[in-house]
Structure 1
């Protein structure tokens, strides 16, 4: 009975999200920040590919599951970057699939400082499986209709001011604010509202081997309150990192990661839910795997601190 009630809550919250926070959460935004801001594309002198798998609220039936695969890097002319990503996000009878491409232009302000402007565009598919929904009103168009889908264009932009040691970024996905309507017989379910992200972080050198990186991510979508991810991690020898993050009104996250020869990366995070869902869920798990395509000419050069 508890799981049935929780399933209803998860489904209802999915539709409520159409008027609130709609995009997936990522605890490892520190490591895969490109998915939040297209201006980051090409900010390193190599291409990199990363995947994130997020299993939210384990223990609750049909809780959100998110997968994302991204890749970005510089063009031949180092002041431009390109990239792209795909993602799937499934919650109960609802699911989303998106494909995006991005372009960024990097302006050199000083010898070590740059400002980047980025754009992304793509297509979003939103699905509702009516066969998994039991409606009180059997005449509701969503009831027993199988999978209904709608395809919508999407776009966003971002700014990124950075050096090897610090960064400040801002981005706005879902700029077009499309109305979500599955068919001519259904009402408008909601609006894909613009989200506003602001990020900032700084790396402090602590001796020869250690670095400390505090950071913050601010998220806002009308009409919900502003949400913050306040994080800090310790990096040892550009190889191992441990961190902790507090997401207001949601969770505390514990992070760890490993970099093999500055080419292959692995990251894991565990979110301990601070809301009432902690009574039913054993937490959220997120796994990240990444690879950097560094040419032989660059292997002898020290890799930028910004990549960790």
Structure 2
């Protein structure tokens, strides 16, 4: 059944004037804010580097996502600002979705915290491989004479942009953003128009230090919607000595996620999560998702031109 659904989705995606949700899913969203909110750029007051690899499900339903991102604070015309770069590659069956964008955020110091207003812009590329070998699927689902099925690999690119705001205080953060603000159309050919719809994100988190201990509670919330469907992640992490963490996430009607990580003394941190699928996909045997994150924070003093390691901070 799910193999049939996969083929149906592929065929629908290459039909004329298709509208589809584009943005990938992440479980370690608390570490991957720049990928969804350009307002986050430069708010960690250090150079922040992230690499993330996600393998969602298995078999014909498998989705593979790779992310490289980095951001840092800068000053433009004596204005407190932040810049960042995202590279996101998302493979879904025969589709490959590639996003490359630059991020800029202008920061405003308020009484208790910092408000950042950000913009990203770059290139959106979508490609479809003409691999229509369906021998493993029972039944006749492929008609080689169908004009909606390309006989060769096709791809298209379009200009893309998004906006976001991010507010940060000592113990908590809040953010809102909208991707694909201009609804880009990465046209494969004149007859294949793929219109990308935007995703609206809300995120927030809190840092609670447990008195007289070395433990901290780090609850957070991650919400996204494309106007037709929505997803909510409720996260809770426990961190020990600011170096070790573990926790759990409940993703509404989809999965329970287990998370763990460590920050090394040299500043490199590793995170891992595993999604235990609770939706109907679990009954197929294709459920289960692995996600690995590697990150590094580097404090930069531009005036003295020196570099020193700075302990990673969530907020």
TM-score by length of 1: 0.88
Deviation at 1:78, TM superposition (A): 7.2
CA contact (8 A) 1:214 1:231 kept: yes
1:214-235: per-residue Cα shift (whole Å, max 9, x none)?
11111111222x3211111111
SS at structure 2 position matched to 1:174: coil
2:294 is the alignment partner of 1:294: no
TM superposition shift of 1:91: 1.2
> What runs of 5+ residues in structure 1 fail to find an aligned partner?
none
1:253 and 1:271 in contact (8 A); partners too: yes
From 218, 222, 229, the equivalent of 1:213 is 218
> For the Cα contact (< 8 Å) 2:69–2:86, is it kept in 1?
yes
Gap change, CA 1:304 and 1:63, over 3 Å in 2: closer
Question: Are the aligned partners of 2:155 and 2:187 in contact in 1 as well (CA < 8 Å)?
Answer: no
CA contact (8 A) 2:157 2:187 kept: no
Report the CA distance shift for 1:47/1:288 in structure 2 as closer, same or farther (over 3 A): same
Q: Which moved more, 1:39-48 or 1:125-134?
A: 125-134
Gaps of at least 5 residues in structure 2 are 135-140
Instruction: Say which of 267, 273, 294 aligns to 1:269.
Output: 273
Change over 3 Å in CA distance of 1:79–1:236 after alignment to 2: same
* Residue matched to 1:51: 51
Residue 10 (1) aligns with residue 6 (2): yes
**From 304, 310, 314, the counterpart of 1:306:** 314
Q: Is the 8 A contact 1:160 1:167 kept in 2?
A: yes
SS of structure 2 residue aligned to 1:152:
strand
Asked if 1:157 corresponds to 2:163, the answer is: yes
Given that 1:262 and 1:303 are in contact with CA atoms closer than 8 Å, whether structure 2 keeps it comes out as: no
Q: Structure 1 13/286 Cα, relative in aligned 2: closer, same or farther at 3 Å?
A: farther
1:262, CA displacement in angstroms? 6.6
Q: Compute the RMSD of aligned alpha carbons.
A: 2.3
- Give 3-state SS (helix, strand or coil) of 1:164's partner: coil
Deviations 1:275-297 (A, max 9, x none): 11112224000000011222486
Corresponding residue of 1:125? 125
Shift of 1:85: 1.1
Structure 1 Cα separation of the partners of residues 7 and 269 of structure 2 = 34
Partners in 2 of 1:240 and 1:160 — Cα distance? 26
Q: Is the 8 A contact 1:38 1:119 kept in 2?
A: yes
Partner of 2:70: 71
What TM-score results when the alignment is normalised by the length of structure 2? Answer: 0.86
Matched residue, 1:26? 26
Give the conservation status (yes or no) of the 8 Å contact 1:131–1:143. no
User: 8 Å contact 1:20–1:222 — kept in the other structure?
Assistant: no
Residue 103 (structure 1) aligns with: 104
For 2:137, the equivalent position in structure 1 comes to none
Q: Assess, with a 3 A threshold, how the Cα gap between structure 1 residues 125 and 20 changes in structure 2: closer, same or farther.
A: closer
**2:89 matches 1:84:** no
Q: Equivalents in 2 of 1:170, 1:252: separation in Å?
A: 24
Q: How many residues get paired?
A: 297
Closer, same or farther: CA 210–159 of 1 in aligned 2, 3 Å: same
Q: Once the 2 structures are TM-superposed, how far is the Cα of residue 57 of structure 1 from its aligned partner?
A: 0.5
Tell me if 1:204 matches 2:203. Answer: no
Select which of 263, 266, 271 maps to 1:259.
263
Q: 1:7 to 1:143 in 2, by over 3 A?
A: same
Corresponding residue to 2:236 among 232, 239, 249: 232
| Residues 89, 24 of structure 1: alpha-carbon distance in 2 compared, 3 angstrom cutoff | same
